[in-house]
Structure 1
Amino acid sequence: MKTITIFLSLFAAFATSTASADVKLQDNSKLLGKWQVTHEALALDREKKPLQVTWEFQKDGTLVTTGEDARSGIGEMTIPIKYSVADGVIKKQITPGREKYEDCAVVEMDDKNVVLKCKFLYLFMTRK
């Protein structure tokens, strides 16, 4: 009985890990257009913090980020950064003007929604 319980526990853990397997992108075609970044979280099962940010993936490899930083009082800002799709993931510039990139893997994706796993955060986005 103990063996069966261990086997079932291992199977459940394996099934859970494969259910959240990354989606490998071939190119940027599924990303093109505007996405509303609705939430961010430290993990898929952690609290989601609401966001008011828009990402627009353009054909030329530019990711235009539009959002408002309520803490600074500056108002809405639009920041273009570079991105590409390579090795199945999104490689996006961390800071404009600097050639340092972070990888964001697509965890889940359908026609209207996408979940990205970046270095420190999960981002939840809806197509606009």
Structure 2
Amino acid sequence: MKTITIALSLFGALISTAADADVQLQDNSKLIGKWQVTAEALALDRERKPLQVTWEFQKDGTLITTGEDARSGIGEMTIPIKYSIENGVIKKQITPGREKYEDCSVVELDGKDMTLKCKFLYLFMTHK
């Protein structure tokens, strides 16, 4: 019985480690192009808030963010920010013109779907 309990514990630890493993990016080749950010959530298992935002990763290290802030009434805005791939994660500028960056790791990259984990949010995206 003790052997079964130990085996189940090791199996559970292996599964949870695999589930938390991030995709390590070598370069930006898997990101290039337009991605529709469909939702955001505080955790993978939490409620997803729908979004209407597009991210376009360009080869030159520019990330073009296009979206609409319904609260401000400004309409659609396009904001270019810098990004790079370092140590397997995306480092993206938090605010244009400021050299402060946040890390976003790729939690899942499956065909045309990608899930990013940034500092406070998970972002769910589909390649256009």
Deviating 4+ runs (over 2 angstroms): 1-7
Aligned to 2:101: 101
Unaligned runs of 5+ in 1: none
Unaligned runs of 5+ in 2: none
Aligned to 1:49: 49
The alignment's TM-score, normalised by the length of structure 2, stands at: 0.93
Q: 1: distance between equivalents of 2:82 and 2:15?
A: 35
Aligned to 1:124: 124
Q: CA deviation at 1:37?
A: 0.3
Q: What is the CA RMSD across the aligned residues, in angstroms?
A: 1.3
Q: CA deviation at 1:18?
A: 1.0
Give the secondary structure class of the aligned counterpart of 1:23: coil
Aligned to 1:39: 39
The alignment's TM-score, normalised by the length of structure 1, stands at: 0.93
Aligned-residue sequence identity (percent) comes to: 82
Matched residue type, 1:28: N
Q: CA deviation at 1:2?
A: 5.5
Q: CA deviation at 1:49?
A: 0.7
Q: CA deviation at 1:6?
A: 5.3
Q: Residue 28 in 1 paired to residue 39 in 2? A: no
Give the total of aligned pairs: 128
Q: Residue 69 in 1 paired to residue 69 in 2? A: yes
Q: CA deviation at 1:111?
A: 2.4
Q: CA deviation at 1:11?
A: 2.1
